[in-house]
Structure 1
Amino acid sequence: MTRRAALAGGAAVLAAPALAQPGWPDRPIRLIVPFGAGGAIDTLSRTVAARFPDHANGQSLVVENRPGAGGAIAGAFTAQQRPDGLTLMMADVGANCIAKEMNPGLGYDPMTAFAPIIHLVSLPGALIAHPDVPYRSAAEIIAAAKERPEGFTFSSAGNGNGSHLFMELFLKRAGIRMVHVPYRSGAEMVTALVRGDAQFGFPTVSSALNMVRDGRARAVAVSWPDGTPLLPGIPPLAAELPGFNCSVWHGIVAPAGMERGMVLRINEVFGKIAAMPEVAEAVFRQQAGRMVGGSPENFADFIRRDHETWAPIISEGNIRSQ
């Protein structure tokens, strides 16, 4: 896959026609972000917010960070707002897909509490190893782990984080086990691996890239079936485990109950932003990601499929929020 192909997603974005609510927005809109400033989802949100006035009657998109509980604090807040188009959320798998599985006592159901608007971006993950680990392919890791059950450790950025779920999916598909060592953030996770406190990890490609390039970690495989041009020569896990395909994803959701015309109008605005070449370039450069786009129905179907992937992983592993 070429770098040009990685950026082509922006040109292929599908935006719904403006069937109603052409006056939206007529005032600033707030975008709830489920994690703190400076992280990948915050960076994406601010990239989108910078272009929002160009397609939204000159109105601003105000990023409001509400971190905590793996995104559930932001999710619960957004779910309680009026579906009037004034409060939107930058969605992710935790707050908007699996929060109920992670915390059965959660006060909202992610599968019914939101109106999916548009799938904005997908980011690939990379299976990485400490440089002292002698195994250089997924097949070698699987064979060694079968000989030494629970003889290996992996770090993650916390229970239910993408770096945790990706590894759990790999272990399940491969029929192997490893000891999970959760940390509080992606930075702590990769630091632990570089120190040798864990042997493996499954961060996003953007989180792993500098470590891999300077030799502090070794990339073994990537989560996308067509690989990524930022890690040339690194094979997809699908080459060893056919059908393996997972991503960190983000998109726009609103509180449930939003009028259909409003949903389509908001989809149109964010679809135009997603189709901007400079946005696709920024997302690729900063996060190794691809713009996605599409209709509200596309995004709703995607979230349902992702829930079907992760819900049994969480249930079988008895994974709960930290």
Structure 2
Amino acid sequence: MIKITRRAAGAALLPLLAAPALQAQPAWPDRNIRLIVPFGAGGAVDTLSRIVAARFPEVANGHTLVVENRPGAGGTIAGAFTAQQRPDGQTLMMADIGANAIGKELNPSLSYDPMTGFTPIIHLVNLPSVLLAHPTIEARTTQEVIDLARARPDGYTYSSAGNGNGSHLFMELFLRRAGIRMVHVPYRSGAELVTALVRGDVQFAFPSVSSALSMIREGRVRAVGVGSPAGTPLLPDIRPVADVLPGFNTAIWHGILGPAGMDRDLALRINAVFARIAAMPEVVEQVARQQAGQMVPGTPEAFATHIRTEFDTWAPIIREGNIRAS
């Protein structure tokens, strides 16, 4: 005969007592989810969002991730909209540095504070940037660009996708770290900044690799340095700028966040769903092939720390340069 002690009986009941609490956790999602994208259809952020959305039903109880583009004002139109929503997990945003980190530094009248208006959920991807030169420029390396600019202060121009855009800030950081000067010529989009360089209207630019890759491969622009310290396999012969300027890092990042005040348990459940998508080999391969991107999922706390680090990096550049959004 097996004797059951009072202590053993109590231990046996623990899983039963815990079961209702586990069952009480609502499934996420229990309906279709809206993903706010701060830029227009067809761009790098939209493409990433749709790659993620295509696999969402597989890990989200069959529900759909509905991509909703709300472009304008450097992403802050989408940011303002998302910040006003309920933190119930039904409306999320594909995070961007402008809308979700430095927007108020670029536009002090912004209706929300990017550093307090959101709940970081998961860092998804880093995309490398690239220092480009027009083919007529003699420089073929980062150091040669620096040497040319030192010999002709203010003698060269560079294009960006607008005041305060990443392509503007990346070049400003490069110029400051290198101790050189160039004249800034802002355009309205990443496509326009690359086109200006192809035409020879400017001599340099610092866009994302994905926005310029076809032009690089066709020889219409020349890649001279990669902004990410690890470089990129899509440009295996191009060395990182960090080889010349140690610590230099201008990776473009995106992730998922929701409005401020979201319950931590809900944020963790959402994090788990997107982490599963980010780990899918097909997604990893597609993002790498189409955007030169690296999937980098982690915890909500890690994403919050990353956003704060980005703010601390770029806010001084914006303030010292008196940079304002276009």
Query: TM exceeds 0.5?
Result: yes
**Bigger-Rg structure (1/2):** 2
In the alignment, which residue of structure 2 is the partner of 1:132?
136
In the alignment, which residue of structure 2 is the partner of 1:192?
196
Output the CA distance in 2 between the equivalents of 1:291 and 1:22.
Answer: 28
1:264 to 264, 268, 274: 268
1:229 to 233, 236, 240: 233
In the alignment, which residue of structure 1 is the partner of 2:62?
58
In the alignment, which residue of structure 1 is the partner of 2:250?
246
* SS of aligned partner of 2:225: strand
1:173 to 177, 184, 187: 177
Distance 1:239 1:254, change over 3 A: same
Kindly indicate whether the alpha-carbon contact (under 8 Å) linking 2:44 and 2:211 is maintained by their aligned counterparts in 1.
no
Distance 1:20 1:34, change over 3 A: farther
Structural RMSD (CA): 1.2
In the alignment, which residue of structure 2 is the partner of 1:150?
154
In the alignment, which residue of structure 2 is the partner of 1:89?
93
The one-letter amino acid of 1:199's match is: Q
Distance 1:311 1:21, change over 3 A: farther
Report how far residue 147 of structure 1 moved: 2.2
In the alignment, which residue of structure 1 is the partner of 2:27?
23
4+ runs deviating over 2 angstroms: 18-22
Distance 1:21 1:91, change over 3 A: farther
Kindly indicate whether the alpha-carbon contact (under 8 Å) linking 1:19 and 1:261 is maintained by their aligned counterparts in 2.
no
In the alignment, which residue of structure 2 is the partner of 1:314?
318
Output the CA distance in 1 between the equivalents of 2:65 and 2:199.
Answer: 40
The one-letter amino acid of 1:177's match is: R
In the alignment, which residue of structure 2 is the partner of 1:7?
none
2:299 to 295, 312, 318: 295
TM-score, scaled to structure 1 = 0.93
Report how far residue 67 of structure 1 moved: 0.5
Report how far residue 150 of structure 1 moved: 0.9
Output the CA distance in 1 between the equivalents of 2:122 and 2:183.
Answer: 36
% same residue: 72
- Measured against aligned partners, the alpha-carbon deviations of 1:89-118 in whole angstroms (never above 9, x if no partner) come to 000001000100010010100000000000
Report how far residue 21 of structure 1 moved: 3.9
Indicate yes or no: 2:213 matched with 1:209: yes
Report how far residue 19 of structure 1 moved: 11
- Measured against aligned partners, the alpha-carbon deviations of 1:53-82 in whole angstroms (never above 9, x if no partner) come to 111111111011000100000000000000
Q: How many residues are aligned here?
A: 305
* SS of aligned partner of 2:28: coil
Report how far residue 22 of structure 1 moved: 4.4
The one-letter amino acid of 1:78's match is: T
Kindly indicate whether the alpha-carbon contact (under 8 Å) linking 2:126 and 2:296 is maintained by their aligned counterparts in 1.
yes
The one-letter amino acid of 1:144's match is: L
Report how far residue 130 of structure 1 moved: 0.2
Output the CA distance in 1 between the equivalents of 2:156 and 2:247.
Answer: 25
Distance 1:288 1:148, change over 3 A: same
In the alignment, which residue of structure 1 is the partner of 2:102?
98
Output the CA distance in 2 between the equivalents of 1:24 and 1:206.
Answer: 33
Output the CA distance in 1 between the equivalents of 2:311 and 2:23.
Answer: 30
Output the CA distance in 1 between the equivalents of 2:120 and 2:292.
Answer: 24
In the alignment, which residue of structure 2 is the partner of 1:4?
none
Indicate yes or no: 2:42 matched with 1:38: yes
Output the CA distance in 2 between the equivalents of 1:321 and 1:162.
Answer: 11
Structure 1 residue runs without a partner (length 5+): 1-17
- Measured against aligned partners, the alpha-carbon deviations of 1:37-62 in whole angstroms (never above 9, x if no partner) come to 11010011111111111111111110
Output the CA distance in 1 between the equivalents of 2:268 and 2:79.
Answer: 22
Report how far residue 138 of structure 1 moved: 1.4
Distance 1:20 1:63, change over 3 A: farther
Report how far residue 226 of structure 1 moved: 1.7
Moved more, 69-78 or 159-168: 159-168
Kindly indicate whether the alpha-carbon contact (under 8 Å) linking 1:19 and 1:265 is maintained by their aligned counterparts in 2.
no
The one-letter amino acid of 1:204's match is: S
Report how far residue 144 of structure 1 moved: 1.9
Kindly indicate whether the alpha-carbon contact (under 8 Å) linking 1:223 and 1:246 is maintained by their aligned counterparts in 2.
yes
The one-letter amino acid of 1:157's match is: A
- Measured against aligned partners, the alpha-carbon deviations of 1:104-160 in whole angstroms (never above 9, x if no partner) come to 010100000000000000000010100000112211211221222111100011112
Report how far residue 315 of structure 1 moved: 0.7
Output the CA distance in 2 between the equivalents of 1:20 and 1:281.
Answer: 37
Query: Higher relative CO (CA 8 A, sep ≥ 6), structure 1 or 2?
Result: 1
Kindly indicate whether the alpha-carbon contact (under 8 Å) linking 2:130 and 2:227 is maintained by their aligned counterparts in 1.
yes
